[in-house]
Amino acid sequence: MVCDGLIYYRQGGTAGYWNVAAKTPAFTFSYTDSAQRANPFSEGLCSFAVEDGGVGYLDKMGELAIPDLFDWAGPVLEGKALVILGGRPYQLTLKT
C-alpha cells in the first residue's frame, strides 16, 4: 500500500520505505535496529515500535519526529493522532 508516496518493504534482514516516484529507498533499517515494526505513513509521519515496546513516529527521512514514549500510536489524521500512554488514551495534536 502506497501512503504519502512511500511503500513499506522487507528484504532479507532489512526493512524500510521505498520512494515510489524516485524509485529509490527513502530509508532503511535492520530488524535489530531501533525500528522493529513500522506502519504506513499518514501526513508525513509513521508510527513505529522499538524492541523495548515503546512506540513513536518517524518522518519521511527516517528521522525520529516524536520519541518512542507511547504504548501505542495511531495514524495522523487532520493533524491529530490517538496515542496510548500508561494504559490511557490521549489525543496528540501536531503543529502543521
Q: How many domains does the chain have?
A: 1
Number of H helices, E strands in the chain: 0, 10
Q: What is the pLDDT along the chain (96 residues), one digit of tens a residue?
A: 677 888 877 777 777 788 888 888 887 766 555 445 677 888 989 888 877 778 999 888 888 899 999 999 999 999 999 999 999 999 999 875
Q: How far is CA 19 from CA 8, 9, 25, in A?
A: 9, 11, 6
Residue 77 belongs to some domain of the structure: yes
Strand, helix or coil for residue 16: strand
Residue 1 belongs to some domain of the structure: no
What's this model's pTM, rounded to 2 decimal places?
A: 0.76
CATH number at residue 24: 2.40.10
Domain that residue 25 falls in: 6-93
Assign 3-state DSSP to the chain and report helix, strand, coil percentages, each to 5. Answer: 0, 55, 45
